[in-house]
Amino acid sequence: MKKYIIVAGVPRAGKSTVSKIIAKQFGYQHISMDSIIAGIEKVFPETKIDTDADIETIKNVEFISSKIALFIKAMTDSGEYDECDYGVVIDVFQLLPKDYNEFIDKEKCEIHYFLSSDVTSEERFRILKEFDTPNDYTYYHSDEENKRDCTDIVDISNYIKQQCVEYNLPYYETSYNRENVLNKFIFDLKMQKA
């Protein structure tokens, strides 16, 4: 396992769940980039980062990814954690494989993508409704909003999957058997660490 593990991919695919498990089981510090992005969006409008921008969703993810990749590069290159005996797990939605490949130091960082590309948007919505709990932000959204988001999630998943194949980066489909996929991922990390 590398000093930095980046857990990337689409919302509701298991990124935060896996990141928290890595933090707990391996003693890694968990950084939620989604929270940092929300802060940048509100406090530094000059960055033009707007997660709700009125543009095509994939174009917006591309724009945010191009900025966040540089932010993560600066963070991991800073040396801040070099002397620490623990690693860092970075949980992020808007980091595309092409930007990871171009900007992030692979000697220090490894990345794993969690996706929902093997379903239709209708099936993704059905799964969302089946497993939604009050702990999930989607629980408080309307069905119309969640249906739109599910369409975006499937589209972005397919886009990321194409790039993962192009750049030979690992990805995990979590629409079905999510718990098994996440457990196998954690087991594989344990084997890698042993």
Provide the CATH number for the domain around residue 27: 3.40.50
Structure tokens at 132: 């939604």
Q: What integer best gives the mean pLDDT of the chain?
A: 91
User: 127 lies in a domain?
Assistant: no
User: 52 lies in a domain?
Assistant: yes
User: 154 lies in a domain?
Assistant: no
Question: What are the tens digits of pLDDT across the range 64-104?
Answer: 999 999 999 999 999 888 888 889 999 999 999 999 999 99
105: amino acid identity, one letter: D
Domain residue limits at 10: 4-115+171-189
The answer to whether the beta carbons of residues 154 and 120 sit under 8 Å apart is yes
For the ranges 31-35, 122-126, 155-159, the lowest mean pLDDT is seen at: 122-126
User: 150 lies in a domain?
Assistant: no
Measured distance CA(156)–CA(171) in Å, rounded: 13
pTM (whole model) above 0.75: yes
Question: Nearest Cα to 76, choosing from 58, 95, 51?
Answer: 95
User: 155 lies in a domain?
Assistant: no
User: 107 lies in a domain?
Assistant: yes
Count of structural domains, the chain: 1
